[in-house]
A and B are shown apart, each in its own frame.
Chain A
Amino acid sequence: MEINVVQKVMKVNDELAEAVRKSLADAGVLALNIMSSPGSGKTTLIEKTLAALNHSIRVGVIEGDPETSLDAERIAKYDVPVTQIETAGGCHLEANLVQRALANFDLPNLDLLIIENVGNLVCPASFDLGEAAKVVMVSTTEGHDKPAKYPNMFRKADAIILNKVDLMPYVDFNFEKFRDYVHQLNPGAPLIDISCVTGEGLDAWLLWIEERLALESAQPVS
Chain B
Amino acid sequence: MSLLPYFVAGWLLLIGCFGVVRSRDLVHTVVCVAIAQSGTYVLLLSIGFQYGASAPVQGAPGPVVDPVVQALTLTDIVVSATVTALLLALVIQIAKRTDTVDPDELDELRG
Q: Do A and B bind each other?
A: no
Footprint of A on B, CB under 8 Å?
Answer: none
